[in-house]
Amino acid sequence: MTSLPVLPLSPDAPGRRPALPPRHLADLDLAGRQALLAELGEPAFRAKQLSTHYFGRLVRDPAQMTDLPAASRDRLAESLMPRLLTPVRELACDGGATRKALWRLHDGSLVESVLMGYPDRVTVCISSQAGCGMACPFCATGQAGLTRNLSTAEIVDQAVYLAGVAASGAVTGSPPRLSHVVFMGMGEPLANYSRVVDAVRRLCTPAPEGLGLSQRHVTVSTVGLVPAMRRLAGEGLSVTLALSLHAPDDELRDELVPVNQRWKVAEVLDAAWDYASRTGRRVSVEYAMIRDVNDQPWRADLLGRLLSGRLAHVNLIPLNPTPGSRWDASPKPVEREFVRRLREAGVSTTVRDTRGREIDGACGQLAASETGSADGR
């Protein structure tokens, strides 16, 4: 049996004091930015100007901020918009509709984000931690362990940066405006709770304070950290909660999602139904289809019984290949039978597309190495 991973309650191990990421306007609400500018001896209205450039116009180059006095542009941009993400590599596939960005953070940590264009919307999948401490054996991110929590601005900046890429028309066949954000990149969002909730608020507050997305278009995914799920239900947010379930029984889930050794299937589903009833939002249940591991008809029936009559939707994810994994995706006929049984139980079910597979940008493939095998196209 896999042992329980250490939960990253405190990101910094004692004795090691890594430098914090640079402070950025996206770490602060508008009032905080105004206070900071006052400290710097600048008029408070500059906070709105800078915020409009960053969130409203997606501009980060001081030379383009022509409404600011030329003499102070660089200094202002440096103090409120320091560079947080240095692009290391961008890979594209699906004819340009999927793009994976690899970033280096100020301390050398690497994280990834994925931009996905559809005919009617553009979604960005962002990371909340460098690495992940949850140790799910089928996920590439989980194999390397946790490096650290990202700051609020490091999380937000992934979305803002890629909103700029989308606005440039780079996502072929899609609208130019970023509309959806999913916290399904590297890391366990609810293990970096306050920064993730702050980031959600910033992404959803109208410009110039934030990016102005609809809360309904934001999804926060979790392995099932029950106390944090219950806390999130009380934040007054209407974001979608995705629960990475992957098994309907404790015996198997203890292995596939090791945190299940702490919070069992029944407890995690209870917390999910609490979230659904308090927010009115349907919970998205994620289930990676792993051949001969969790794809048996009896498990479909058990899952159907657990979810039937609940405010839930099942997203089956064909298992994506990860280096060294002993597991494969379920064969299509097995997957179809699983879907049929869930639907027969009255549970709404879809199979997720495997966007970004060729560039290791699909679910569970983000591992942020600089020596990826795929070619940029």
Q: Which residues bind ligand SAH (CB under 6 A)?
A: 134, 136, 138-139, 184, 188, 221-223, 244, 286, 288, 317, 319-320, 322, 363-364
**Given the DSSP bridges, would you call strands 98-104 and 86-93 parallel, antiparallel or unpaired?**
antiparallel
Please give the Cα distance from 205 to 217 (Å, whole number): 13
Cis before residue 208, ω within 30 degrees of 0?
Answer: yes
Rg (CA), the chain: 21
53 vs 355, beta carbon nearer ligand SAH: 355
Give the count of beta carbons closer than 10 Å to the beta carbon of residue 220.
Answer: 23
CB of 158 to ligand SAH, least distance (A): 14
139 assigned to active site:
no
103 vs 183, beta carbon nearer ligand SAH: 183
Give the count of beta carbons closer than 10 Å to the beta carbon of residue 137.
Answer: 15
User: Which of these is catalytic: 42, 93, 112, 154?
Assistant: 112
Q: Is residue 176 within 8 Å of residue 159, measured between CB atoms?
A: no
User: Which of these is catalytic: 93, 125, 132, 363?
Assistant: 363
CB of 138 to ligand SAH, least distance (A): 5
93 assigned to active site:
no
37 vs 134, beta carbon nearer ligand SAH: 134
- At 243, the amino acid letter reads L
79 vs 158, beta carbon nearer ligand SAH: 158
Both tokens of 207, joined, read: 């410009």
CB of 246 to ligand SAH, least distance (A): 6
139 vs 162, beta carbon nearer ligand SAH: 139
- Closest residue to ligand SAH, Cβ-based? 364
CB of 205 to ligand SAH, least distance (A): 23
Please give the Cα distance from 331 to 69 (Å, whole number): 62
CB of 333 to ligand SAH, least distance (A): 19
Residues involved in catalysis:
112, 363
